Amino acid sequence: MPLTEQIADLWKPLIDIVNDCSSRWRTFSLDALDFVLPHLVGDSKGVCILECLRVGSSCYNSQQSSYQFSLRDVTLIPIEVVSFATPLRSIDDNWSNLTTAEIENLHVYECLVLLQKAQRLTTGEFNQLRTGRDKHLLPPGSIIHDALRCLSLFSDDSEAPRQLLDNLTLPSLVDLTYDTSSNSPKSVSVFLQRSASAWRLTALSILHWGGSHNLLTVASHLQAVKRLEYYRDFYDCLQLLNGPITTIEGKDVPDLLPNLHEVSIFHEVLPWRLLADLFLFHPLSILSVHLTKVKRNCGWTMSPPVVSKVS
């Protein structure tokens, strides 16, 4: 039901029951209006087994709200946190034991602050990032995070993912997913070079990233990539995989994706001819291809995903 502060006597008894069970929370999920947060204070027993925390609201006003979620006499040390539309400053927490984070609709600087505090984080997914910073936080500057292995960036903001990468160095990165409306291969290339990822990055997913020339821009950092997901202009991508490319902008380029074992094709319609070319001319001994739509001479058919291997 629609909650307001004026009818707190109706919903507060339910919150009291939840508070009485706080020492037994292992997974806690809250999707509520911001003024509900300070009523969740726990049972004051100082016992906490919380491993997964989800806090957020689609109606949360992160710019204006000063409400905060904090358990009395307890320091939260969640192993996983999922936060959407709730500024991190609204969660009184110790992030030192955090290993997995899925964050949505926060400013870039908030994400950098989280990475600065959560040095054990191994998997981070950041959705719908916003440019700039929460006005309540000072910019943390450039961050070196030694533990993060998997990074996923999804955003309609053309500048936010670039801003995050420009302030981030990930020496242990092995899996990168980059889905943004902005074509910024040079920014990605500089980030990968700074992180020295050429022989560690084994999985790359690039969504809505323009033509294959953008892939060439980061070619020198993809020597270890075994799995590639490419969601756009796969005609060009197939030509790259099937044909030798030696230079770009007058500079020598190493063999593109020399260790590639698996390609995921996500394309509206894919002619069988291009798939046949991929099988016939790609130099790899084993190649997995995932298809959802294929085109025959008489039109196109929709089929379940197919995994094909050639040797």
303 φ/ψ angles, rounded to the nearest 5 degrees = -130, 160
Could you tell me which residues are beta bridge partners of residue 123?
100, 150
Query: Exposed e or buried b for every residue in 243-271, given b needs 16+ CB within 10 A?
Result: eebeeeeeeeeeebbeebbbbbbbbeebe
CB neighbour list of residue 266: distance below 8 Å, 6 or more residues apart: 229, 230, 231, 234, 292
pLDDT of 194: 93
Distance CA 35, CA 241 (A): 54
Distance CA 144, CA 157 (A): 24
Is residue 129 within 8 Å of 108, Cβ to Cβ?
yes
pLDDT given for residue 265 in this prediction: 66
- Structure tokens of 145? 């995070």
Helix, strand or coil, per DSSP, at residue 155: strand
**Verdict on whether the full-model pTM lies above 0.85:** no
Are 112 and 140 contacting, i.e. CB atoms less than 8 angstroms apart?
yes
How do strand 27-31 and strand 52-56 relate by DSSP bridges?
parallel
Question: What pLDDT does residue 307 have?
Answer: 42
Q: In angstroms, how far is the first alpha carbon of the chain from the final one?
A: 60
The DSSP code sequence of 79-140 is: SEEEEESS-GGGB---GGG--EEEEES-BHHHHHHHHHH-TT--EEEEES-BSS--TTS---
The domains of the chain, with CATH numbers, are 1-80 (no CATH), 81-308 (3.80.10)
For residue 138, the model assigns a pLDDT of 62
Predicted local distance difference test score (pLDDT) of residue 229: 81
| β-strand pairing of 100-104 with 143-144 | unpaired
* DSSP state letters, 192-250: HHHTT-TTT--EEEEES--SHHHHHHTGGG-TT--EEEE-S-HHHHHHHHHS---EETT
Give average pLDDT by consecutive 10-residue segment, the chain, 311 residues: 80 92 89 83 86 73 65 82 77 84 86 90 91 65 92 84 91 91 79 88 80 74 85 60 55 69 69 69 60 52 41 42
